[in-house]
Amino acid sequence: MTGARSRGRSNLVFVESAAGRSGMPAFRRAAELGLTPVLATADPARHAGAAAAGVRIAVCATGSPGTLARELRSALDGIAGVTTLSRSHAVAAARAAADLGLPGNPPDAVAACHDRARLRARLAAARLPSPAFEVAGPDDDLDSRVVTALSRIATPCVVRPALGGPPGAALCETFAEVTDHCRKVLSSGPGPALIEGYLPGPEFGVETAGSGGVHHCVGITSGGAARPPYATARQPDTVTRQPHAATREHVFPAPVPPDVADELTATASGALAAVGVTDGAAHVTMRLVGGRAYVVGIDALPAGGVIPGLVARACGFDLIDAHLRAAVGLGPLPLPGRPTPGGRPAVAVPRQERWIPPSAIPTSP
């Protein structure tokens, strides 16, 4: 690892957090908290914007969780915390923080969020609503595994990499489609393929802030989709699109009735407890089917993209601030009153970055 040494217990290390929509505000917020932001990266050329803004750069093997803490310890004095805004580096950051004896979520909990197969198993053990699933690994008899899966899971079903990444999620309707996409997943990365039930209901994100295992709902985000947010296996040119590619807009707070908000919030809190997430901001992706909230995924960090800005605009709460405070052992600032559909909703259309008034927001059923 290279980089200037820094003294004083004030360094907050960001593991591969790009200087993008959330990155630069996070670096600035760290400085406002009296911390020195340090960007740990294996490729400083990818983060020229952060360096140009005066963020300290530490070059290290961020892809090797077992050695990251050791390299950070050898180069920086007084590390106050290790965190990230990158989903793909969340496990490495949690592991480094734990190895250094710093605050943060348990690495096993963060790993369970990152690995959809482990997440599904923990949710099932806690008897929380989540899709039926089957895991197909590289050493399995794939045809037999798919036969077993389709004996329990109705089609169409979703096939995705358990660890994320290419070739993305696909909505599959036949044995051949499921098998074909499983093969693509298994040939593209180290993790298994996850075959799971398709949830046809509307998608929501529950934004939370936690401290000591107690999670509070900051609010609920809804996403409007032009079509189910999965590529179709019959359209090879679209199968690699990310699951959110069809999303048109996000709305915060989601215009949902109180009973729906309670269902989403209670299930999200139970899911965070089931996987062991204890502190900081989290984003729980859910679908509402038949009045029940089903957990799709959990990120043990703030939602990406436009959502933190939506939340701040609508209710004044800073999810990034809550995330950074947790990384250095500070509790989050007091939460705002519970957002309601009548309280200044903010809407973002990602490509256009425009805000529209509450009167233009349709009410969810």
Together in a domain, 214 and 343: yes
Q: Residue 296 sits in a domain of what CATH number?
A: 3.30.470.20
pTM for the model = 0.84
Q: Residue 170 sits in a domain of what CATH number?
A: 3.30.1490.20
| Number of domain units in the chain | 3
User: In the predicted model, is pLDDT for residue 348 greater than 60?
Assistant: no
The predicted pLDDT at position 189 comes to 83
Q: Would 113 be classed as within a structural domain? A: no
Q: Which residue has the higher pLDDT, 5 or 48?
A: 48
Q: Would 111 be classed as within a structural domain? A: no
Q: HEC states along 274-303?
A: HHCCCCEEEEEEEEEECCEEEEEEEECCCC
The predicted pLDDT at position 126 comes to 96
User: In the predicted model, is pLDDT for residue 363 greater than 90?
Assistant: no
Q: Work out the pLDDT band at 336, boundaries 50, 70, 90.
A: low
Write out pLDDT tens, residues 6-51.
445 689 999 998 766 677 889 999 999 999 999 999 888 788 777 7
Q: Would 97 be classed as within a structural domain? A: yes
Q: Residue 80 sits in a domain of what CATH number?
A: 3.40.50.20
Q: Which of 82, 102, 122 is the last residue of a domain?
A: 102
Together in a domain, 221 and 319: yes
Indicate the average pLDDT of the chain.
82
Q: Would 112 be classed as within a structural domain? A: no
Together in a domain, 63 and 180: no
Together in a domain, 341 and 211: yes
Q: Which of 85, 102, 119 is the last residue of a domain?
A: 102
CA distances from 296 to 120, 147, 189, 233 (A): 9, 23, 21, 20
Range of the domain at 214: 203-230+237-360
Together in a domain, 246 and 306: yes
Q: Cα–Cα distance between 76 and 8 in angstroms, integer?
A: 9
- Residue-wise DSSP of 182-203: HHHHHHHSSSPEEEEE---S-E
Together in a domain, 211 and 323: yes
Mean pLDDT of 260-286: 96
Together in a domain, 214 and 165: no
Mean pLDDT of 249-274: 92
Together in a domain, 282 and 190: no
Place of tokens 């993008």: 20
The predicted pLDDT at position 352 comes to 36
Q: Would 162 be classed as within a structural domain? A: yes
Q: Cα–Cα distance between 356 and 306 in angstroms, integer?
A: 14
Together in a domain, 210 and 181: no
The predicted pLDDT at position 255 comes to 87
Q: Would 309 be classed as within a structural domain? A: yes
Write out pLDDT tens, residues 172-200.
999 999 999 999 999 988 889 999 999 99
Together in a domain, 80 and 170: no
Q: Would 31 be classed as within a structural domain? A: yes
The predicted pLDDT at position 47 comes to 80
Q: Which of 102, 120, 155 is the last residue of a domain?
A: 102
Together in a domain, 241 and 261: yes
Together in a domain, 46 and 149: no
User: In the predicted model, is pLDDT for residue 240 greater than 60?
Assistant: no
Give me the numbers of helices (H) and strands (E) for the chain, helices first please. 11, 15
Q: Would 5 be classed as within a structural domain? A: no
Mean pLDDT of 83-107: 94
